[in-house]
Amino acid sequence: MPRCFLLRSAAALLLLACTSAVVMDPQPGVANCTLHWFTQKTDHFNWGAPPGNQYTFQQRYFIYDSFWSSEQNEDGSTSKGPIFFYAGNEDYVDLYVNATGLMWENAESFGALLVFAEHRFYGESLPFKPGTPGCMNWLSTEQAMADYAYLITSLKEKLDCQDSAVIAFGGSYGGMISSWFRMKYPNIVDGSIAASAPIWSFSGMTPPYDYDGFNKVVTRDASAAGGSTDSCSQNVKRGLERIDEVGKSEDGRKMLS
């Protein structure tokens, strides 16, 4: 299967994400995957020794390969299907294996290999023992993206699938990572599907971030313009004001809790 075909498949997936998906019933999860550990670099960018000379750590990831396609080419070589890669975020990766529906729903039709990687410092992928002084310097999106780049590169070599297109997935912070991952490593990631990824939510950007933007959208949803009634947003506002007032006293806080 030529790489151009895989890239067209990746483009088709991006379109599919905006339309509909075939829902699998029941949806597979952790119990259907194989657990793997990868010897990951603690620091991808600096020469200095990490605390305790902890140069590597074990990064956890899950694989589901039952849908992964393989095709014999005319020259005798083998082409394999794309890789759907979940860019883990701030929790145990198990949760995302079980809840990332879009990947599961579309993997079979695209003949994709599913890979769910755990974010460093979360779950069981710990570069340092809890409480290690100064260790938080190695918790960054830059290091996390480099983890994923190194993992994917190693996996493609190990699984002999150098020409397989890679599509990154993520939601919220994971969606931000998957977006930036595609921007920073276009040689490794062919596309990204990011859900609820506020990549523009930072100060000093152009256009400037609207700090009231989220509140405006929520308020509109609870108004006639958003399909509700104007009294809805007004009632919610009065209710929040009442909660703030009640919460000023100890008895009020007990009642609210």
Answer whether 53's CB lies under 8 Å from 84's CB.
no
Would you state the pLDDT for residue 14?
52
pLDDT string in tens for the chain (257-residue length): 444 444 444 444 554 444 444 444 456 899 999 999 999 999 999 988 999 999 999 999 999 999 999 998 888 788 999 999 999 999 999 999 998 889 999 999 999 999 999 999 999 999 999 999 999 999 999 999 999 999 999 999 999 999 999 999 999 999 999 999 999 999 999 999 999 888 888 888 888 888 888 888 888 988 999 888 889 989 998 999 999 999 999 999 999 98
Q: List the Cα angle 159/160/161 in 5-degree steps.
A: 95
C-alpha distances out from residue 68 to 9, 45, 107, 164, Å: 14, 34, 8, 11
Q: How far is Cα 251 from Cα 131, in angstroms, rounded to an integer?
A: 37
How many CB atoms are closer than 10 A to CB 229?
A: 12
Answer whether 68's CB lies under 8 Å from 151's CB.
no
Q: Record the tokens describing residue 193, joined without a space.
A: 């599907």
- CB within 8 Å of 202: residues ≥ 6 apart: 209
Q: How far is Cα 1 from Cα 148, in angstroms, rounded to an integer?
A: 25
pTM above 0.85, yes or no: no
Main-chain phi, psi angles of 164, to 5 degrees = -70, 130
